[in-house]
Structure 1
Amino acid sequence: MNNNYIATPTRTREILRKYQFQFKKSLGQNFLIDVNILENIIKKAGIDHESGVIEVGPGIGALTEQLAIHAKKVVAFEIDQRLFPILDDTLKQYNNVQFIHQDILKADVIQVIKDNFTPGQVIHIVANLPYYITTPILMKLLQENLPITSLTVMIQKEVAARMAAVPNSKSYGSLSIAVQYYTHAEIVMQVPNSVFMPQPNVDSSVLKLTIRETPPVDVINEEYFFTLVKAAFFQRRKTLRNNLTNYFAKSFSKEEVNQLLDKAGIDGTRRGESLTIEEFAVLANTFTRL
């Protein structure tokens, strides 16, 4: 292993000292200090020398460096202006990396892809995401129908469990269905908090989301489908009938909710966590047709 890589405790401390960098808690900054874990992430993501990669939140460049070694081109979005002089220094030997000073939530990612990658190139998103904003970032990237193959992200262990959860499990909920509507979700690695500087209070998982060519279900109205899923988990301990009756009180009477459940062939005494994505699609389409 090259001891001069950024992702070692010694080199990270050197960089932080040199630039007198102070971590901003509000940006969820935790830098990776284990090269083996980074190399494993890249392997799990399926990065090769022809790949284009988008990174979110490069920090001081630990993951960016390994991506630059293994991929054809890396484009990294960073919101913290203080990091740009550091990145320019730490990654100056790599000519296949470009940094964009922008909040990923406001970025036109499709345009960035057009500007930086060749048509038909396989593109992956790889990131160590800030815990406090993981879900908004991932949902934005999934809903924009980007021409990407996969997203491989280091996120809080519990959030990864929710995104990859199956029906009838404690973690299964509306987030599981939203993510799995767009992707095949798989937890590919568990990561202890000891490989970060500073150490977060939680453990992490690496979640790989492989983009589906088409959703696993046909729904008449996508927005309504997600609204109904949210309604089904409105109060987790309540039955489907109660949740739907309460959530859609202005649209449907209790009797109408019962009739629609019967029409969909779904028992209203079940809880939302017991329904598969296919059953949610049937239910949403039944409600939409009324």
Structure 2
Amino acid sequence: MSSATRDQRPEPPQHRARKRFGQNFLRDPGVIMRIVRSIAPRPGERLVEIGPGQGALTEPLIEAADGVLEVVELDRDLIPGLRVQFFNYPDLVIHEGDALALDFAALKGDGAALRVVGNLPYNISTPLIFHLLGAREAIADMHFMLQKEVVERLAAEPGGADWGRLSVMAQYYCRIDALFTVPPEAFVPRPKVDSAIVRLVPHAELPSPAIDEALFADVVRQAFAQRRKTLRNNLKTRLSGEALAALGIDPVRRPQTLSVAELVAIANHLAGESP
């Protein structure tokens, strides 16, 4: 879009950020462009932005994608502003509703895999990530702005305080790259915590495939239910300490010391015992 056309575009209505939607609108141009460079969108790709808000990230994304973009916005009061702001882009598709309820596999259909991006509200970031992991076969990659603490958990390594259920499940399905931190002053209103950008790329082939992924997820949930207790205590309803030792896993270890592969080994052992 030319600068002249941009200058002639109507101003969108003013909007006050709503706490119930966890809204913090990105304003820093330098941060915005750094995010777009990290995503590196190209014409012909299927870009989906979750929570476009007032369009700060939407504008450089849609220009890089040659005018083709889909956005998902829950706040109905923001929709008119987006339609005004991007009236010159007829190929912009706005999905009005909750991204947690959106069927991303159906959205992909027979088309190219989706590239999902967004400044995710802190209050739904973890459940939304799990929802997207469930649609991973429809997704090429994901780039999200999240609370820094959540990014640290996603990218954590076994043995640290940040390693937990989210780390295990995300890394089972995806390669995780923590990219850079974003300070509170980049937003209006300012959040009380730092944010960070993370990239999730679904594995083409799982490094440690589980025989039964639902069972694996249950094992991970149970293992981390009480982090201060040993594996033998946390998993005592599923297998004995002797069975853990036979797998080469010390039963007195804490769950946060186990790798994805070790947790998969436990789940696969249980799957092999199932009738």
1:221-260 correspondence runs (5 A): 221-245=212-236, 248=237, 252=238, 256-260=239-243
Q: 2:209 aligns with which of 189, 213, 218?
A: 218
Please tell me whether the aligned partners of residues 136 and 202 of structure 2 are also in contact (alpha carbons under 8 angstroms). no
1:75 pairs with 2:75: no
Following TM superposition, the consecutive aligned residue runs of length 4 or more in structure 1 with deviations greater than 4 angstroms are none
Task: Tell me the distance in 1 between the aligned counterparts of 2:210 and 2:132.
Answer: 21
Q: How far is 1:191 from its partner?
A: 0.4
Q: 2: distance between equivalents of 1:231 and 1:278? A: 16
Report the equivalent of 1:36. 30
CA gap of 1:150–1:219, structure 2 versus 1, over 3 A, is same
- Going from structure 1 to structure 2, the CA distance change for 1:3 and 1:132 (only over 3 Å counts) comes to farther
In structure 1, what is the Cα distance between the partners aligned to 2:215 and 2:235? 13
TM superposition shift of 1:134: 0.3
Q: Which residue of 1 aligns with 2:244?
A: 261
Contact 2:104 2:138 in 1 (8 A): no
* Counterparts of 1:149 and 1:112, CA distance in 2: 13
User: Of 81, 85, 95, which residue of structure 2 is paired with 1:86?
Assistant: 81
Amino acid at match of 1:132: N
**C-alpha displacement of 1:104:** 1.1
- Cα-to-partner distance string for 1:184-218 (whole Å, 9 max, x where unaligned): 00101110010101101111000100111122212
1:197 to 183, 188, 194: 188
Q: 1:193–1:264: structure 2 CA closer, same or farther, 3 Å change rule?
A: same
Work out whether residues 263 and 286 of structure 1, in 8 Å CA contact, stay in contact via their aligned partners in 2. no
Q: What's the counterpart of residue 272 of structure 2?
A: 289
Gaps of 5+ in 1: 7-13
The number of equivalent residue pairs is: 268
CA distance in 1, matches of 2:102, 2:48: 12
TM-score normalized with structure 1 length: 0.86
RMSD: 2.2
Shift of 1:259: 2.6
Map of 2:176 onto structure 1: 185
Against the structure 1 CA distance between its residues 3 and 199, is the aligned structure 2 distance closer, same or farther, given a 3 Å change threshold?
farther
Distance in 2 separating the partners of 1:38 and 1:3: 18
Equivalents in 2 of 1:103, 1:131: separation in Å?
14
Q: Contact conserved, 1:128 with 1:155, CA < 8 A, in 2?
A: yes
- Contact in 2 for aligned 1:125/1:152 (Cα 8 Å): yes
Residues 58 and 76 in structure 1, CA contact (< 8 A), matched pair in contact too: yes
Identity over aligned pairs, percent: 34
Query: Who is 2:96 aligned against?
Result: 101
In the TM superposition, residue 94 of structure 1 has moved relative to its aligned partner by 2.6
* Aligned residue among 34, 52, 57 for 1:63: 57
5+ residue gaps in structure 2? none
Give the 3-state SS of the residue equivalent to 1:62 in structure 2.
coil
**Residue 111 (structure 1) aligned with residue 102 (structure 2):** no
Partner secondary structure for residue 116 of structure 2? strand
Give the counterpart letter for 1:189 in structure 2.
Answer: F
SS of 1:190 mapped into structure 2 = strand
| Partners of 1:35 and 1:48 in 2: CA distance | 20
Deviations along 1:64-86, one digit per CA (max 9) or x if unpaired, are: 11110111421001111111111
Cα gap change, 1:71/1:182 in structure 2, threshold over 3 Å: closer, same or farther? Answer: same
TM-score (norm 2): 0.91
CA contact (8 A) 1:68 1:96 kept: no
Shift of 1:222: 0.6
Deviation at 1:110, TM superposition (A): 2.3
CA contact (8 A) 2:153 2:167 kept: yes
* Structure 1 residues 32 and 162, CA gap change in structure 2 (3 angstroms): same
1:262 and 1:151, CA in 2 relative to 1: closer, same or farther beyond 3 A? same
Q: Please give the alpha-carbon distance, in whole angstroms, between the structure 2 residues aligned to 1:267 and 1:201.
A: 41
- 1:26 corresponds to: 20
